[in-house]
Amino acid sequence: MFDIVRKALLAGLGAQEKAKELVEDLVKKGELNQSDGAKLIKEVMEKAEKGTEEIDKKVGAIVQKTLEKLNLPNRKDIEALEKNVQELTNRIKRIEETKGA
């Protein structure tokens, strides 16, 4: 799964670079003026950023669903268990202190 996402992101970055090179070539050849070239590059970068954000959200959702299916304890569960263990430890200490006194 990670490999697929990695390849998609790298392909996106490669396409982004190619688009930038293409615009720069058009500007050099005089087929596109500097201002329009800069606007086009900015637009490509913004769209690429939005695409990356969407991929991040989708991957996050997939990971979350996978973790839920695995039924692993989350941070909240572990913190609750730690709190319970600490409370029980404190009770045991109080009982031992009462017996020892």
pLDDT tens across 60-93, in order? 898 888 888 998 888 999 999 999 999 999 999 9
Q: In whole angstroms, what is the distance from residue 87 CA to residue 83 CA?
A: 6
Confidence of residue 49 (pLDDT cuts 50, 70, 90): confident
How does DSSP assign 48-65, residue by residue? HHHHHHHHHHHHHHHHHH
Q: What's the pTM?
A: 0.46
State the DSSP code for 20. H
pLDDT digits 0-9 by tens, 8-31: 666 666 777 777 788 788 888 888
What is the residue extent of each domain of the chain?
Answer: 2-70, 73-101
Handedness of CA 35, 36, 39, 45 (dihedral sign): negative
Tokens at 36, concatenated: 């329009």
